[in-house]
């Protein structure tokens, strides 16, 4: 038996603002949308156009308060093929929330407070 990654889910309060954040800061694009006629939820899948892994953003009609992210120790990680350029863009956009220069990584925070780790592209063996 074998399992492969499919997607991760983040629940969001403002779907369009979140989609814009992920497009602007990570180049993710919408690949699929589920929007039932009853309007109680909308699910949007975003992809990087290179891997099959998706980020699922879920908007719930009756959810009004901020999501409780606990200690926010969970996160996504994305590799940047030009780490310095990515850092400059994220710094300009004001989305860097934590940086560890010693190990060469940083995190950006989305509109709902989810953290995304940015790491330099690694050479693959």
Q: What is the pLDDT of residue 125?
A: 44
Reported as a single tens digit per residue, the pLDDT across 54-84 is 999 999 999 989 988 888 778 899 999 999 9
**pTM for the whole structure:** 0.91
Q: Which CATH architecture has domain 7-62+75-120?
A: Roll (3.10)
Residue 38 tokens, joined: 């009853």
Cα 121 from Cα 78, distance rounded (Å): 9
Alpha helices in 27-104 (DSSP H): 83-93
Q: What is the pLDDT of residue 1?
A: 86
29 phi/psi in degrees, rounded to 5: -125, 150
Reported as a single tens digit per residue, the pLDDT across 20-38 is 999 999 999 999 999 999 9
Q: Report the phi/psi class of residue 27: left, alpha or beta, with left for phi > 0 and alpha for psi in -120 to 50.
A: left
Whether the Cβ atoms of residue 47 and residue 28 lie closer than 8 Å to each other: yes
Residue with tokens 């499919």, as numbered in its chain: 6
Name the residue ranges covered by the structural domains of the chain. Answer: 7-62+75-120
Catalytic residues: 117
Pairing of β 41-47 and β 7-12: unpaired
Contacts of 13 (CB under 8 A, 6+ apart): 59, 63, 64, 66, 67, 111, 112
Q: Report the phi/psi class of residue 6: left, alpha or beta, with left for phi > 0 and alpha for psi in -120 to 50.
A: alpha
């Amino acid at each position: 038996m074998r399992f492969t990654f499919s997607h991760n889910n983040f629940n969001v309060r403002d779907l369009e603002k979140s989609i814009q954040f992920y497009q602007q800061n990570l180049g993710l694009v919408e690949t699929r949308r589920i929007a039932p006629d009853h309007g109680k939820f909308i699910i949007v899948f975003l992809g990087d156009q290179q891997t099959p892994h998706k980020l699922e953003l879920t908007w719930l009609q009756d959810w009004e308060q901020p999501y409780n992210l606990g200690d926010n120790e969970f996160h996504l990680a994305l590799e940047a093929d030009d780490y310095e350029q990515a850092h400059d863009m994220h710094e300009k956009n004001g989305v860097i929330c934590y940086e560890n220069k010693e190990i060469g990584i940083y995190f950006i925070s989305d509109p709902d407070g989810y953290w995304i780790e940015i790491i330099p592209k690694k050479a693959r063996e």
